Amino acid sequence: MNTKNASKSTSADVFEAVSAHLNEMRSAITEPIRVREEDLANQLGVSRTPVRQALIRLESTGMISLRPGRGALLEPVSDRDYIEWLQLREQLEGFAAREATLNASQRDVMGLRAIFAPFAQPHIAESKAAEYAQANVAFHAQIMRLANNSLLERVWASFGHTQTSYRRKTISRLHRSADSLREHLEIIDAIEQRDADLAESLARAHVRALHVAFEQADGQPDASISFSQK
């Protein structure tokens, strides 16, 4: 195996591992916490150098702030972060749905339907909110994968679904489970019909509806409001 390519792969793997680990930590905090490079390396079983490189990359996303000699400061997601993510996400989801429609096989469509098969009966999505939230995350990640755009996938992974809507349990909190399920199935129908324009429009409308519901529930975004106050 080419040593140069192996090194790149290892660095990419460590970045993904650090990003996922910090996202998980971020989901549980309401105040900034300090993260030590050495601790991360030990927890992930890797050397400190690729961890340091990953932290430098993640600083550009706003997830952490690097303090020379003091490690990294992991920031919680604010309401303003979430609103700005939804604004960006509307564009990303529309593009991804269009591309997925052009790329998806019938088998892929069946896979998308299978994600929501456990929630086919009325009110199941509402009664199994945690499971539905996981299905929601899986669906959007699969749409991103089907778009077959590596940059899009990296943006999605970096700014991530898991660090915003999954943590906030937005769907159940805003009582959007039934609407969310219907919207997802409509997007799948459009993909199966190979109607790229419709899939894009529905995907954008799906995110826009979430954005509107969130603002109606919480008012204008306030970066000082923490998860625990919601």
CB 79 within 8 A of CB 221: yes
pLDDT of 92 higher than 90: yes
> Which residues are bridge partners to 219 per DSSP?
none
- Contact (Cβ atoms closer than 8 angstroms) between residue 152 and residue 144: yes
Q: Which helix (H) or strand (E) holds 104?
A: none
Per-residue pLDDT tens over the stretch 108-135: 999 999 999 999 999 998 899 889 888 9
Local structure of residue 163 (DSSP, 8 states): I
Q: Which residues pair with 35 in a beta bridge?
A: 72
The dihedral over CA atoms of 124, 125, 126, 129, expressed in degrees to the nearest 10, equals 120
| Structure-token pair, residue 143 | 């749409």
Lowest-confidence region among 19-23, 156-160, 174-178, 206-210: 156-160
The answer to whether 132 and 182 have CB atoms below 8 angstroms apart is: no
Give the tens place of pLDDT for each residue, 156-186.
877 765 455 544 556 556 678 889 999 999 9
CA angle, residues 20, 21, 23, in degrees to nearest 5: 65
CA pair distance 215, 211, nearest whole angstrom = 6
pTM of the model: 0.71
